[in-house]
Amino acid sequence: MKRITLSLSAPYVGLRPFEEEEALLFFGRETHVHDVLAKLGHQQRFIAVIGASGSGKSSLIRAGLIPALHRGSLASVGYRWQVCITKPGDAPLQHLVEKLTDDERWIDGGDRAASMASLRAQFTVNPLALAEQFQRRAALFGGEALLLVIDQFEEIFRYRQQNIDEAEAFIKLLLRSASEEDVPIYVVITMRSDFLGNCVTFFGLPEAINGGLYLTPRLRPEQLKSIIASPLALIGSDMDPVLVNRLINTLESDDELPILEHALLRMWNHAKDNGRNRIEAQDFALICKPPATGEGEAMPKLAFAIDNHASEIYNQLTPQQRQIAQQLFPALVERRESRDVRRPQTLQQLIELTGESNKDDVLAVINAYRKGGTGFLLPPMAEKIMQSTLIDISHESLFRQWRLYQQWLEEETLDAAELKEWYYRLGRHQQTGAGWLDDNECHRALQWLNRINRYPAPQRWATRYLERLDFQALKLFIQESQQRVQEKQQAETKRLEAEAALQRQLAEQAEQQKLQAEMFARSSRKKSIWAIGAAMIAMLFSIISWMLWNQAEQEKNRADHARKHAEQLAHAAHANALIATAENLDLVTLDQSILLSLAAYQIDPNEKVEKQLRSVFAALTFQTGLRNIDGTRFSPDGKTVSIISEGKTVHLWSRDVCRPIDEIAAELKRRVGRDLTDEERRRFGVADRVAQEQ
């Protein structure tokens, strides 16, 4: 039996979703298509196909459900269908009427622009307008049912923040159209599952989704094998069975289908370019090779296919085109609440963003990434691009898997955040006159200006985030802030230089003082050494002097002792002589004997003298009548003698005349005829009063 094969340019579609005309290549999802048809068959006219990004939602509807409807798989309706596929984008009602009027039956009087304006106005204010207009044209449609496919439905949540009224009018139009039983309108939406929680912002939408929810399942291994091998079989080709199993085992949950489709297309093209009709392991190793990161060896993975291909195209661009690509790709994505969503832009918007003079380079970049065998951007290369054509990435996996794209998005997010920060500071400055940027802020702001200068049209880029932004005023504010910072820095520099000069002067003075102190210290050390030497010599002389003085003192003491001893001997001899004379009463009178004895006692009161004195006093007692003489005492000047008798009576005698003083005083008074004065009494040595009893 002869095998029939098809002649196709490629058995795989790559990163973009399948289209209706590619249904022959759409394998592995037959049961999923049947499940969606079953929901429609149960009179459920609003179907929400929900799934993770990369789960194949769009392809399921475009290449699975729509061809099945045209084949009459929904028996209750038949096979006559008018299909309208649209995306909300930045103008959901406008996009809807544009797609509807692609069919001339929606145009009145041959004027498409007028018909579009009329339909949009009606859709805005009347939720029943679509059903009414479809029913009014029933004769033209000839019994056809209308299928509205709203792909990437999550875009409506972003648009709602810009125009809540139109967004709500769009949702009400869809819900009311699908609820009219007499009008055959069916609505199918595809939406990423991570936006399911946002549906509560629209009244009636959660209830409609709950009634027609279809959660896209993951593919089983046998379904994946069909996706890989069946398209090759259609064109009479095949793949190494070991590689088929390897691909199935290395698939990861994130973006598994778009990554697989893209890698399969690349491997097929590589095998064909090398004259082979079979995909081998070498094709996989080349297309899915690990990036050269220098972090050690890594095995080929399907996840590397998109990054390798996108980077390869980027490296082939001119420097100017690379700069445009760096601005163009982030413009097709919007980051909200840590989620990245597609944001299609018209060709005109992209040209305005990058600069009118870069139009040719913009087209060159777009064509490089949408050409056959690539499919990173939409529309496909076969479709001519006009100024109003929407440019979109073919799948979210592009910005998730292309590392350079992720880097651009991070830089774009940072630049946009700083743009809003500096714009806020400018507004505060304009309101209060304060709020100038400080040194650190100026440094950051200038770095930000340098970064956004990489964009061909920085001002146009800034207006994407702040439509009313006065970019020149913002630049001037940053520049003036920097000028003020520089002036402060210059003033501070001058102050520091003055302080440094003063410090140098003080340091020089301190150095001079240090040198002088060192010189003085050296001189002082020398003087100290001499002083110590002199002190030691002085001490030596002091010791010698003390020794000589001590010796002299000893000699003096010995001399004094000898002198005193000699004096004592002389006194003793003198006293003995006086006593010897006094003893000889034959030679002297009693008075003389008394005087001599007293003089001897005053000179040397020894025992012999005292014995003689007692003997004299005994004679005196006999002569004067003094009795019981107990003792005698001389006055300090030695001129008066106190004689104590009977233990209590004192008699004062003059030593010179050996007579009682009172007798002498009486005799003097008699001679002068008056009392003696104190001076006279002292001069004559007489007492002031007579002796009295003690």
Rounded-to-integer distance, Cα 88 and Cα 644, Å: 156
654 bridge partner residues: 640, 659
83 bridge partner residues: 147
Two structure tokens written together for 622: 């006999």
Measuring CA to CA, how many Å separate 287 from each of 249, 269, 270, 282, 432?
17, 10, 8, 9, 59
393 bridge partner residues: 377
> Are the beta carbons of 606 and 579 closer than 8 angstroms?
no
Read out DSSP for 166-228?
A: HHHHHHHHHHHHHH-TTS-EEEEEEEEGGGGGGGGGSTTHHHHHHHTEEEPPPPPHHHHHHHH
- State CA 610 to chain mean position distance: 116
Judge whether residue 17 has pLDDT over 50: yes
Judge whether residue 52 has pLDDT over 60: yes
Rounded-to-integer distance, Cα 412 and Cα 465, Å: 11
Q: For a pLDDT cut of 90, what percent of the chain falls above it?
A: 46
Average pLDDT value for residue range 446-456: 85
Judge whether residue 119 has pLDDT over 50: yes
For position 624, what pLDDT does the model report? Answer: 56
Rounded-to-integer distance, Cα 617 and Cα 597, Å: 10
Rounded-to-integer distance, Cα 87 and Cα 378, Å: 13
CATH T-level fold of 29-218? Rossmann fold (3.40.50)
Residue with tokens 């009313």: 468
The one-character DSSP state at 17 is P
For position 251, what pLDDT does the model report? Answer: 83
For position 684, what pLDDT does the model report? Answer: 57
Rounded-to-integer distance, Cα 310 and Cα 398, Å: 8
Average pLDDT value for residue range 584-605: 63
Average pLDDT value for residue range 656-666: 67
- Domain boundaries, given as residue ranges, for the chain: 29-218, 626-694
Which run of H or E residues covers position 375?
none
Rounded-to-integer distance, Cα 616 and Cα 618, Å: 5
Instruction: Give the orientation angle of helix 471-583 with respect to helix 403-432, to 10 degrees.
Output: 70
Greater pLDDT, 507 or 47: 47
For position 358, what pLDDT does the model report? Answer: 87
Please return the burial class of 153, using the count of CB atoms within 10 Å of its CB with bins 0-12, 13-18 and 19+: buried
Q: What is the pLDDT of residues 358-367, one digit of tens each?
A: 899 999 999 9
Average pLDDT value for residue range 651-676: 67
Q: Is 338 left (phi over 0), alpha (psi -120 to 50) or beta?
A: left
Judge whether residue 691 has pLDDT over 50: no
